[in-house]
Chain A
């Protein structure tokens, strides 16, 4: 009788039957990458639109368009979000889901006798790299977070009660994981493994970690030195580094993003996207793409859920001395090649060849509307019929940013030295810009550098982190005043951290009373 009642599932494997073979080990690590792409139909994952709706919208570059009808998203975009906000919860939960998959690999693989030492070491290195990445995001988004480095198999909520770990300790773990990963990982991969974490990726990310620690709010400026030293380990000799990874800027800025050139020498580590032939259930496509495409263009499926954020600035050339349609688009100078790669002002219909521009309405008087720029960085010319199948990767760290990290850390450490100028100008040159004016002060150099970061990395989920990090000449945060000047009057200092999800506090008694200030 007991046999009769036993469950023997045929449609899936149970935990008892896993972590046995070499293939299991590889598959377990592949699963750690999973949340870089897509968590399933209808779910936003961090690098597949969630950082857009839950992070970019809070900044001064972007805003939810008419296609974004989620109240949580819109309240976040207006900086009215609280601890019960859906995106606040999703960001938290998905990062921990990814951490768990990393912990599973890190805990289970060492004991597996079927896996050779070299592969074992690489696999654990990959998992550690990813764990470091997820914790780096968590600690920047929420501050002190529960640091979990081993698998938990609890059943009840209280089994998972764990307190916040001071961010210094979280950073220690991140650094340790990245150092371990750098030791274990290869310089590069051949097909079919291109896209996995490499040694260079671990080093470059570590440089970024050091720079972040040295910046606001931690302000541990001693780490500027670590940032410079570490960045130089990854920079190629042509850029004054000792790296042997072959990293280089693409000469053509557009090639950085086009799927045809994915995983090129500029990509240090990217979330991998792949086109399918249609919008299928288990898509690997970049869902960011259709969200920024205008609706009603024949041949293109666009939902216009992400739009450029327009705000009012003083402009004597405009009626009333104000430009009511200022946006990041207008910050690009006419020479800057990045603008027309990053944005389009009209979409050419693949069906009828006509161009479809801004959704403006001349019938209402008083609104003489400028061209509407649409974000275009995830454009995939190969999948116009299925715009959500864009194969455009999302760069998590690319060489241009490494140069900017190097320039910034060097400037903060030693002032605008030739080294700092060289790294920044390398990026400006590729954009078609002149070298930065010589002889700037450290503060002037910093401001210029951050402007170039914004223009270079817009739509790549960097702006919010930069707004949090950046300081003015007095060493104070620019966060509140920048956002308020950009038409976001609700911006407050507390927004530099997200609230801990309310639900999490209610389920985990050890978080009670430890909400981030102001929420």
Chain B
């Protein structure tokens, strides 16, 4: 049998003894001797692949087509993450040369089956808090880099996809018709297409994005073709089943009826008797009744199929991919679909001129669960059947205050959002001289959103009176956003005297966006068959609306990177941004930053310390900005004010906002210190950063006295109808520490085990809310508070103090509620107007501050791979945790009302009665108003087995026979186990969307699901 001989060397030509050499797909292996030489038996069949491996070096594959006549020379390159090129704003840098804080999503976590790419950041990058705010398929994800700087301006990071800063505002794919969680504008991207995700965190890294950099920048790089003539066709697909993580235990019909009767008896007859007429429902003989949650939740399929072709030639690289993604919701009749295609080309016209272009086109269709559904699943009386005796849906499900039948609403409402998005750009790069290149980029981002909604006659919300042919409300809306971008950058990159490495970028960019939308609606349809497709059939005319919003941004930018002798690094950045959103006197902002780095391991005194492979110290300082407020916020706006005379509608007009020409940037000043440490040939890598951010001149939609007369109602921006003006006041600080630890625990020929531990902790604090303002309660009826000295998202609530006992009952009982009898909820008397407890519980003096902010983020990933002669096995176990956050469980507050108007939680079985006095659950009583208290603030800490994947890659010796380069099959489970004390559906999918202020309130959003899926990954 033939023998293959060869030697393994490093880049300097030195021998690498101990290198392992083996034939892929077999157990046939050998170690190189002291001279780095080896010989081993060839495989029986050509061609085969020889793999050469050594710890600390990059594995090298050698394809053997026939027996070589000369000994093979195999050169291994040092496996140094520091030599990897990282995408930063307007350029690329070696990781080694970076002075700022830039985190990458580890390769181990990039393959997770998620619906949109930013979900990959969760638990994967230190300093990034990702919260899935809703379980709605295609729904929102809240991403915050190093806490939130802002209070009322946007706090999501800027997303830059292949150099194009895209509009990530949730309004971009919301025509304003759909009721329910907003769909995620990033869900048009196929996670499979993503090659890398980098997070720019400190001022040095983000200042190049100036006015949009303060909330961090997420740089997404997509997969490219390669400039070789090898084509590969890759298919990735999976199919899985999802299920709601948990349901909330509530009373059954029999138990509810007992509660209701008790509430009736306990309440003095000041209230009207409110029980339903006898015979309407036979409650006294009822049993379990309806389990609304069981009726609404279902097992739901999720599947994704991607096909990509990566190819190229000497001067051209080409990638084409397509994706079909379909996720049904765990709530019936909800879901999300994506059809996406992507095209990227990189072509060298000649030595000097290069053209690159990327095109992404996607169609996403979401069927959204209306907001009221989930709360109603819990609150609707179990004594109400889903269907009446004739088999029709019961419409009005409540026995007193009207709730819609959630199953009827879920199945029969039309509530859908369809978005087409085209993201395309083309860039030409011309090498003017040695080291000097000019790049001109032109791009466009076009989003068309269309939303349809129909509330049929057969539902309560579509026909509250229930008459024949009196209802049916159809609404359609569309919104078209087109934006263009032009970037012109000049890059100069040169090494002088082998010691001075200089990289300079300068440029000018301009971006503009135009959004036009319209909503039309009609009501009163004789029949429901045509839903929203024939507005002209409706006899009830409704006022249509249209809108137009433009914004523009013009910028100058410059950056200098200087490295001396591979040791000392300097980065200086300046960006000047002019934004249309600000007042006429304050359009331009200037955002400088500077950073220093020191590659200590290059110093002589560390050269001989073999354990330390790499050590870099970094320090940076700089200012970035935020412009995330709605356009036209600085202008005095005249708004319509309707009235009617002679029974005819007339339109009046009056200003609703004041002119504020001095409105300007929100500025974040950030300092960062950190180090990167590589130990034992970089088998252990540690990155530690500490930062201190101070955000001043907040773009605060600040309250002004009601005597200002400024009041307007907007369900999205100003639901409380408070008097506010956008001003630059207030200050917020964020301090934090981040640790990323990456270890290669076991590295042998056939077994590898890596761990990644991510830890980050941010402390947010409101420093100032403007002169003389200590506290703002944004919505009076909600527990959230903005308090100087406390984090954004804290609570201001009553403190409960057990149950009113018989001897404490009466007019002086310590409660703000109507029920002052034994069994009522008792509260702590904190203070009175004179600063001492006054024997009464009042909103003004007896509420306490409970600080709250997102807790400590921890991600812990273990990956292992095991090679055998019958294939390779891989295992990923990914735990994700958030510790210390709190949630106000609004559902529970309503479920513990004990009025009997709604259903109660299972805890109500332990309520106070004359025979059950030793309890902390108050008695049944007909006072249907929640009192906001600490009782409903729960610890939302959780530990979650976020992902468990087992994969098996078939040996190439088997698959090559059917012309398959690689075939991997895998099974995966997401969210399969969650450890938490939180009593709601899920501690994560409970946040109030993007609102920073109310994010600690669980209002009953679409719950999260767990998934089990199987997939296949195939490369031809």
Residues on A facing B (Cβ under 8 Å)? 1-2, 4-18, 24, 27-34, 36-43, 63, 65-75, 78, 80, 82-86, 89-90, 92-94, 96-101, 103-104, 146, 148, 152-162, 189, 191-196, 262, 272-274, 276-282, 284, 295-296, 298-305, 307-312, 324-325, 350-351, 357-364, 367, 369, 372, 384-387, 391, 487, 489-490, 501-504, 506-509, 519
Contact = CB atoms under 8 A, between A and B. Distances in A.
Given A86-B780, A148-B707, A385-B465, A272 B644 contact: yes
Interface stretch (B221-229, B289-297, B539-547): B539-547
Interface string B831-852: 0010000000011100000000
Contacts of B275: 359-361, 363-364
A301 B723 contact: no
Given A277-B540, A311-B270, A501-B706, A31 B653 contact: yes
A356 to B, nearest CB: 8
Among all A-B residue pairs, the 5 with the closest Cβ atoms: A100-B709, A30-B652, A361-B275, A15-B636, A31-B652
Nearest to A273: B644
B411 interface: no
B704 A369 contact: no
A277 B929 contact: no
B400 interface: yes
A487 B708 contact: no
Given A13-B653, A40-B712, A303-B401, A281 B542 contact: yes
B580 to A, nearest CB: 5
Nearest to B539: A277
Nearest to B270: A487
Contacts of B524: 277-278
Nearest to A83: B844
Contact of A37 (B554, B642, B777): B642
Interface in B740-782: 770-775, 777, 780-781
Contacts of A490: 811
Given A30-B651, A67-B402, A298 B705 contact: no
Given A195-B644, A282-B543, A307-B272, A84 B713 contact: no
B781 A72 contact: yes
Interface in B707-732: 707-713, 715, 719, 721-723, 725, 727, 729
A271 to B, nearest CB: 9
Interface in B764-818: 770-775, 777, 780-781, 811, 816-818
Given A71-B781, A93-B723, A502 B711 contact: no
6 contacts: A31-B641, A86-B780, A153-B636, A295-B400, A351-B467, A487-B270
A61 B247 CA distance: 43
A5 B399 CA distance: 57
B901 interface: yes
Given A311-B270, A359-B273, A4 B510 contact: yes
A10 B542 contact: no
Interface of B: 261, 264-265, 269-278, 284, 396, 398-402, 464-468, 470-471, 473, 510, 512, 521, 523-524, 539-543, 546-550, 552, 554, 578-581, 584, 587, 631-632, 634-639, 641-655, 658-660, 662, 702-713, 715, 719, 721-723, 725, 727, 729, 770-775, 777, 780-781, 811, 816-818, 833, 842-844, 899, 901, 926-932
Contacts of A501: 706
A253 to B, nearest CB: 22
A449 B660 CA distance: 54
Contacts of A386: 465, 470
B554 A5 contact: yes
Most chain A CB neighbours (cut-off 10 Å) among B274, B548, B643, B777: B643
A55 to B, nearest CB: 17
Given A31-B654, A325-B269, A364-B265, A72 B641 contact: no
Given A13-B638, A14-B638, A18-B638, A30 B650 contact: yes
A124 B932 CA distance: 46
Contact of A97 (B400, B584, B709, B816): B709
A388 to B, nearest CB: 8
A241 to B, nearest CB: 27
Contacts of B578: 1, 4-5
A15 B844 contact: no
Contacts of A384: 465, 467
Given A66-B901, A385-B467, A34 B654 contact: yes
Contacts of B631: 7, 9
B579 A507 contact: no
A28 B654 contact: yes
B272 A154 contact: no
B638 A12 contact: yes
Nearest to B843: A84
A90 B721 contact: yes
Most chain A CB neighbours (cut-off 10 Å) among B811, B816, B899: B816
Nearest to B663: A155
B13 to A, nearest CB: 57
A359 B277 CA distance: 6
Nearest to B396: A296
B554 A1 contact: yes
Given A66-B401, A274-B644, A503-B703, A71 B709 contact: no
Given A384-B467, A507-B705, 12 more contacts: A1-B578, A71-B930, A82-B843, A82-B844, A83-B844, A97-B710, A156-B704, A272-B643, A278-B542, A359-B274, A363-B278, A506-B775
A347 to B, nearest CB: 11
Contact of A84 (B400, B650, B844): B844
Contact of A15 (B540, B659, B773): B659
A37 B645 CA distance: 12
A282 to B, nearest CB: 5
A165 to B, nearest CB: 11
A391 B542 contact: no
Contacts of B465: 298-301, 350-351, 384-387
Nearest to B578: A5
B773 A278 contact: no
Given A191-B646, A503-B703, A75 B636 contact: no
Contacts of B549: 9, 11
A185 to B, nearest CB: 14
Given A70-B781, A156-B729, A310 B271 contact: yes
A46 to B, nearest CB: 12
Given A90-B721, A308-B272, A386-B465, A157 B706 contact: no
Contacts of A100: 654, 708-710
B541 A359 contact: no
B708 A160 contact: yes
A299 to B, nearest CB: 4
A342 B773 CA distance: 48
A80 B811 CA distance: 11
Nearest to B655: A15
A309 B704 contact: no
A295 B401 contact: yes
A37 B122 CA distance: 49
A162 B646 contact: no
A13 B659 CA distance: 12
A223 B581 CA distance: 55
Nearest to A95: B706
Contacts of A17: 638
Contacts of B581: 7
B929 A74 contact: yes
Given A4-B554, A5-B578, A386-B465, A104 B931 contact: no
B773 A9 contact: no
Contact of B466 (A18, A298, A358, A509): A298
Contact of A43 (B467, B512, B580, B721): B721
